[in-house]
């Protein structure tokens, strides 16, 4: 496993981040613990979760699974950088959601209890909350830092404008502010290249892509369909039908390279200078192991150019992407 700095901080994190969305939901707790044990053994030191993950909804089930794993001891907590999130509704009350100082305080306390730890290393805002002033958000986060309950603050699914707004407001308060942005980014979903990646670069934020395989679209869907090995429904199937021609060209090119489509998609992200740690969210032990070969793949300029031709981005950063 390779390691890199988390944005402008001195913190070292693994090039792959272990996503836990499936734990306590599609993956039973005992299997989830085995996957986390294996990830730790493989060198993963960056674990990501959220209070809204798991079933039943709003129960904090995934945080509970992670907390039970941490409670086993043997230095688990000290060996990982633990990230979770706040924003989504965790109750029926009008203040059981969002980014008010009221909700941030309560949500953090609840996450700490479920995670069975005294601090969260990276506390991420799961979405922008336009009804809450940035000053109120930072007041709440600053208090949590003073109390030792969180170490760093990150954003998730923020547009470039709100990244800039939050960073400038934090600077005026002499606070470190945002250190990371977690966003959807893959060969098939490159919108963040317009505004988010330039903003992250300017303010020194780590970029943590989620859904690096675009829900499986980049994982070999065309071949699996041909072999009758995969049946998909819903949004992923719609995306596949919409992009079938690109997917087939992509998989053919991956065959020429001698690598699996999923590995090429991950290697493409790892090759991007703006990217810190793509999130790997395995359902099974096999899926965890299957991601690792991507770390060994080096894509040359000609390969990157060909991938751009198959999966064209928006044209680079704004405004040059759409204006003179």
CA distance 190 to 316: 9
**Interhelix angle 160-172/134-146, nearest 10 degrees:** 60
Assigned token pair, 266: 């991950």
DSSP string, 65-91: HHHHHHTT-TTHHHHSEEEEEE-S--S
CA distance 51 to 263: 29
Per-residue confidence (pLDDT) for residue 243, from 0 to 100: 87
In a domain, 233, yes or no: no
**Interhelix angle 244-257/261-271, nearest 10 degrees:** 90
Assigned token pair, 203: 């303010």
From the list 91, 168, 190, 85, the residue with the least C-alpha distance to 129 is 85
In a domain, 243, yes or no: no
Per-residue confidence (pLDDT) for residue 150, from 0 to 100: 98
Per-residue confidence (pLDDT) for residue 230, from 0 to 100: 55
Per-residue confidence (pLDDT) for residue 234, from 0 to 100: 77
Active site residues: 53
Is the Cβ–Cβ distance between 78 and 118 less than 8 Å?
no
| SS3 readout for 225-277 | HHCCCCCCCHHHHHHHHHCHHHHHHHHHHHHHHCCCHHHHHHHHHHHCCCECC
CA distance 233 to 225: 12
**In this structure, is the dihedral angle defined by the CA atoms of residues 29, 34, 39 and 40, taken in order, positive or negative?**
positive
Here the CATH number for the domain that contains residue 25 is: 3.20.20.100
> Global pTM?
0.95
In a domain, 112, yes or no: yes
Per-residue confidence (pLDDT) for residue 231, from 0 to 100: 55
Number of domains in the chain: 1
In a domain, 161, yes or no: yes
In a domain, 65, yes or no: yes
Q: 3-state DSSP: the chain helix, strand, coil percent, rounded to 5?
A: 45, 15, 40
Instruction: Specify the pairing of strand 3-5 against strand 120-125.
Output: unpaired
The residue behind tokens 């493989």 is 42
CA distance 104 to 126: 12
Instruction: Find the domain containing 117 and state its range.
Output: 3-215+261-301
In a domain, 58, yes or no: yes
Per-residue confidence (pLDDT) for residue 188, from 0 to 100: 96
In a domain, 248, yes or no: no
In a domain, 313, yes or no: no
Kindly give the confidence (pLDDT) of every residue in the chain, 324 residues in length, as a single tens digit, with 9 standing for 90 and above. Answer: 999 999 999 999 999 999 999 999 999 999 999 999 999 999 999 999 999 999 998 999 999 999 999 999 999 999 999 999 999 999 999 999 999 999 999 999 999 999 999 999 999 999 999 999 999 999 999 999 999 999 999 999 999 999 999 999 999 999 999 999 999 999 999 999 999 999 999 999 999 999 999 999 999 888 887 776 555 667 888 888 988 999 999 999 999 999 999 999 999 999 999 999 999 999 999 999 999 999 999 999 999 999 999 999 999 999 999 998
């Amino acid at each position: 496993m390779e390691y890199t700095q988390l944005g402008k901080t001195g913190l070292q994190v693994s090039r792959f981040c272990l996503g836990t969305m499936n734990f306590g939901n599609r993956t039973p707790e005992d299997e989830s613990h085995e996957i986390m044990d294996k990830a730790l053994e493989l060198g993963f030191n960056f674990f990501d979760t959220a209070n809204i993950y798991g079933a039943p909804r709003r129960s904090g089930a995934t945080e509970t699974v992670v907390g039970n794993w941490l409670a086993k001891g043997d230095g688990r907590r000290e060996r990982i950088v633990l990230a979770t999130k706040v924003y989504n509704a965790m109750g029926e009350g009008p203040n059981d959601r969002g980014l008010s100082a009221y909700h941030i305080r309560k949500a953090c306390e609840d996450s700490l209890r479920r995670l069975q730890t005294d601090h969260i290393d990276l506390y991420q805002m799961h979405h922008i909350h336009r009804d809450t002033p940035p000053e109120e958000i930072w007041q709440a986060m600053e208090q949590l830092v003073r109390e030792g309950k969180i170490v760093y603050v990150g954003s998730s699914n923020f547009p470039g404008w709100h990244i800039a707004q939050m960073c400038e407001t934090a600077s005026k308060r002499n606070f470190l502010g945002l250190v990371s942005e977690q966003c959807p980014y893959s060969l098939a979903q490159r919108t963040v290249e317009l505004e988010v990646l330039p903003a992250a670069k300017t303010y020194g934020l780590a970029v943590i892509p989620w859904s690096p395989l675009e829900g499986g679209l980049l994982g070999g869907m065309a071949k699996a369909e041909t072999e009758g090995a995969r049946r998909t429904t819903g949004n992923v199937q719609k995306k596949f039908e919409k992009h079938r021609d690109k997917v087939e060209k992509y998989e053919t090119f991956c065959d020429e390279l001698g690598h699996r489509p999923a590995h090429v998609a991950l290697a493409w992200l790892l090759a991007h200078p703006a990217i810190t740690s793509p999130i790997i969210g395995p359902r099974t032990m096999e899926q965890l192991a299957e991601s690792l070969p991507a770390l060994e793949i080096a894509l040359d300029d000609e390969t990157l150019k060909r991938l751009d031709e198959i999966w064209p981005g928006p044209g680079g950063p704004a405004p040059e992407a759409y204006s003179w």
